[in-house]
Amino acid sequence: MGEQLDATYLVTFTQSGDTARRLSRLRSPIPLLAFTPLRSTRNQLSVSWGVQTYEVPEVKHTDDMVDQVDEVLQAKHLAQPGDEVIIVAGMPPGTPGSTNSIRVHTVGERSDYRVSAHRSTQ
């Protein structure tokens, strides 16, 4: 998918490191970034092929994950607004073994896809 879309990065959010290790085995030409709130997972992934790791705060919503990707990529000058990245993550966030979503994200675009629970009454 990443190659078809000419993605700048493959990004995974991981608690255990398993998703990053699985993606690493594919030896994709697209750089792989692993975001984790756990220092121990970050340390373990340092020996996985082609994985750049980032320790980030744990979040409660996948949109917050996307925001973290934007912040890190732009702050470290790794991507420009308009670059596309593929984000692999689990819902709900923070649950090991729950990888179940793929999102194509354009760096710099608003990531708030949440549905408002507020209904107006007339």
CATH number at residue 90: 3.40.1380.20
Q: Which domain holds residue 44?
A: 9-106
d(CA 44, CA 53): 10
Q: Judge whether 113 lies within some domain.
A: no
Q: Judge whether 118 lies within some domain.
A: no
Q: Judge whether 114 lies within some domain.
A: no
What pLDDT, on the 0 to 100 scale, is given for residue 1? 83
Q: Judge whether 101 lies within some domain.
A: yes
Mean pLDDT: which of 41-45, 56-60, 100-104 is highest? 41-45
- How many folded domains does the chain comprise? 1
Q: Judge whether 116 lies within some domain.
A: no
Q: Judge whether 115 lies within some domain.
A: no
What pLDDT, on the 0 to 100 scale, is given for residue 42? 95
What is the per-residue pLDDT across 31-56, written as a single tens digit (0 to 9) for each? Answer: 999 999 999 999 999 999 999 999 99
Q: Judge whether 46 lies within some domain.
A: yes
Q: Where are the alpha helices (DSSP H) in 18-101?
A: 18-24, 39-45, 62-75
Q: Judge whether 58 lies within some domain.
A: yes
